[in-house]
Every structure is written in structure tokens, then in C-alpha cells.
Chain A
């Protein structure tokens, strides 16, 4: 009996059906289907221009898809309805490649502003919550600093705290470490790892293959607006795998020197 219950298909937290997005005459998303269950970590990989970032932005209608459906916990979201849209976005946190911290607000205010304006929390409650979230990403002591005085890694951690404060059900991460200097990537990845281990549902586009292989439940490889293959990192990257993902990862590992440990095929292989 209990087996049955565990195996019963749960409603995915977030689902995309037949997403199509056309930009400048190109099908940037070509009938993309995707779903993610509670507590899962899905990693989007693929060459630039594959549509990873577009897919993430369509999922919360920052870029409205030309056609297709977005379902949050099984219920379709009407992207034309402002209320539904704001409700969706509150429940789907987003992390951007270039952080997009509000430049005129301190770290604390960055985390606090949406709590007050969107959730209607009192300043006192919002401040308390914001400090707690900054503590979670290890930046309690930087609360008073402005973005101009934070390092890239610190900015991205504040951005993560800002998204977490909204209590999202899913987090979308759009190449969260691509704009960072190499020495700052680690601190952000550590926060992301904590999140995943804490059970946060995440969809992340990234080129950090070895890191995400250790974290992801599922890899989704995209190319030219289509999902080429999906599966667990072990399936797609395992020894002897002839997957497109494998070929792509081997190539970028070569380029970035990720395979510096002498093992053939690099860290990419599990």
C-alpha cells in the first residue's frame, strides 16, 4: 500500500506544455515540454542560444510565450491576468545572471522591499525576515551595504536571499555564476548546494557541469530551442554513454580546463 502511494505520480510543481517562443523570426523555443516535481533539481544545459534562458523567462512570463501553457501545481496560469501573474511570480523565485540587485537600495532593503510592497508585511516584520535571509546566505554583516560596495558573489547571494524571502515554491536560476570572477563562483555554488540539500525545487541553467552533476536529479539538454535529451546525470554522463550531453560536456570541459585532474574525459564523467 505505502509503495503504491509513494509511486503515485505527484502533480508537478511547475509544468510547461508546448511552449513556443519566436524572436526575430527564429523559433527560440520549439514546442518545449518540461515538468518538475517537488524538491527536485533540474539542470538545463546546452550551447548558448539553445533557449535555456528563454525557457526560464517564459516560465514566469518575464518573456510571455507565443503559445503553450504554464501550470503551477496543476493549475494553468493565465499570463494575461495581472493578479494571476503576480501570484505566480511570488511563488517562482528567479535568479539572474547579472544579479539585478536594486542599485539604490542596501542589501537589507533589497530583500525587504518586495516583502513590504508585494506581501504587505510591516517594516518591522520585513526587516526581521530580511536579516534572517541574509544570515542564511552568510551576509548578515553586509546588510547595510549598497550593491556598489558588494562583490559579485555577495551580490548574487543577496539576490538569492531576496528571492528566498518570498517563500517561493520553485527557484529558477539563469546561469547564476556566469558573470562572476572564478574566485567568487564557489561561495555562490555553496549557497545553491545548501538550498538543494534543504529541499528547494530548482531549475537551473548553467555551464558548471561537474557541480550540477553532483546536485541535479535530472539533466535536460537543449539545442536550437528543442529538448534533445533528458535523464539523470548518471545516465547522460556515465561511462560509455554516447549521449549528446556527454559530447557537449566533454567539449566545454576541454575548453574551460575543468578536466585538470588528469582523468580522461574529465570531471564530466561520473
Chain B
């Protein structure tokens, strides 16, 4: 006879998933930061960079948006160690490979939102900044980017939500995050329905919390003219 669900949850499932949750957060948080950093940099360079740099960032975006994330994860984990440069090669542990894949992929999408935000800002803003004696760089950093970022924030936030969900892919390169842990528990107990439904609830809670944090951030950055669109 198997134990009732609540007993199973308390004794086995919840402690296991709690460990997995930490690992998930260790993957998600740096990936999200890396993604945001790459996204803002690539987005700005795509709009204001010199032509060759613009081309380069475009290639980056089409490469990382145009190939399945699983393929990218496999590449960084399984293929990268075989690339030898001067006898050296880079071997990433599973968590590092996951963070790199997710950060790079997320950054490609983030840069699209940032680019859209930058392009939505009227030319007059940068002209006024230049007319006051700012350099193009000062004008972009102090005037255009803060506005573009506010415009891009809802999209960027969505991307973080996606990131939380696709972090589950780390399990296929042996990272014991939420999904990896859940798979192991399911294999050992055969209580697939309970395990995977509970796993779903964990992601749902994570995503809800993230959405709430993002709304706080949007509100904190909100100024008249750049309010969060109300539903």
C-alpha cells in the first residue's frame, strides 16, 4: 500500500523538490542577469553601434533565436570540450553550461525587446541631448536607454518568465534542478501523476512570484508618461 499523497509530499517529495528548487534558482538567477546584461548591450549596439558591430549582433541574435535551445545546451555541454584552441579547451560543468546557454539565448530575445524600445524613442530626445553638448554615448546612456528600458520592461519580464520555464532543460545535462529531481523521484516511486502535478505547481508559484517582483520593478520605475499599462 502506498502512503497518502500528503504524507508522500511531506516525507519525500517536498524535501527533494526543495533541494531541486535551490539548484533551479542557482541556474535561473545568474542566467536572467546574464541575459539582461547581454540583451541591453546587444540591443544598444544593434541600434547605435558601428555597422560591423551591428551586423555581428544581428548574426548573434539570428543564431540564438533560430536554433532550438536543447541544441544550444548540448553544444555548450557536449561539443565545447572538443574545441581545442592551441591545445586548450574549455570544459564547463553542467550548471555552468546551463547558465551560459540560457543567458545567451535569453540575451538574444532580450536584445530584441531593447531594440524595439530604443527605436520607439523619438529622435528629438537624442537631438536635444546632443544640442546640450552631450556625446552620443552620454545621450544614449542617460536619455534614450532609461526610456527604452521602461518601454521594454514588460517584454523583458515575459522573457524572464520563459527563462524560468526553460531552465527545466538543464535536467537533460544532468543538472538536478526541479525537473531533474522530480524525474528521479518519479522513477523511484512510480507516483508519476502526483510528482509531475506537484512539479507543475512549483513552477506556477515561481512564475507567479517572478511576475509579482517584475510588477514591483515596473512600478518602482514608473514615471508619468511611462506608466505600466493597466489591463
Contacts and interface: CB of A to CB of B under 8 A. Distances in A.
Contacts of B133: 86-87, 89-90, 114, 118, 166
A94 B129 CA distance: 10
Interface in B65-93: none
Contact of A102 (B129, B135, B138, B150): B129
Nearest to B150: A104
A219 interface: no
Nearest to B146: A104
Interface in B55-71: none
B133 to A, nearest CB: 4
Contacts of B223: 104, 106, 146, 148
Interface in A102-159: 102-104, 106, 113-114, 117-118, 145-149, 159
A147 B134 CA distance: 20
A90 B225 CA distance: 28
Interface residues on A, range: 20 to 34
A100 interface: yes
B132 A149 contact: no
B147 interface: yes
B132 A163 contact: yes
A82 interface: yes
Contacts of B146: 104
Interface in B120-158: 122, 124-125, 127-135, 138, 142-143, 146-147, 150
Contacts of A118: 132-134, 138
Interface string A82-95: 10001101100110
Contacts of B5: none
A163 B133 CA distance: 10
B224 A96 contact: no
Contact of B143 (A96, A102, A146): A102
Given A82-B135, A86-B134, A87-B133, A100 B128 contact: yes
A62 B127 contact: yes
A60 interface: yes
Nearest to A114: B132
Nearest to B121: A103
B190 interface: no
A235 interface: no
A104 to B, nearest CB: 5
Given A86-B135, A114-B132, A147 B225 contact: yes
B166 interface: no
Contact of B226 (A86, A90, A104, A114): A104
B132 A166 contact: yes
Contact of A104 (B127, B130, B225): B225
Contact of B128 (A96, A148, A149): A96
A42 B226 CA distance: 38
Contact of B131 (A62, A87, A104): A62
A223 interface: no
B134 A117 contact: yes
Interface of A: 60, 62, 82, 86-87, 89-90, 93-94, 96, 98, 100-104, 106, 113-114, 117-118, 145-149, 159, 162-163, 166
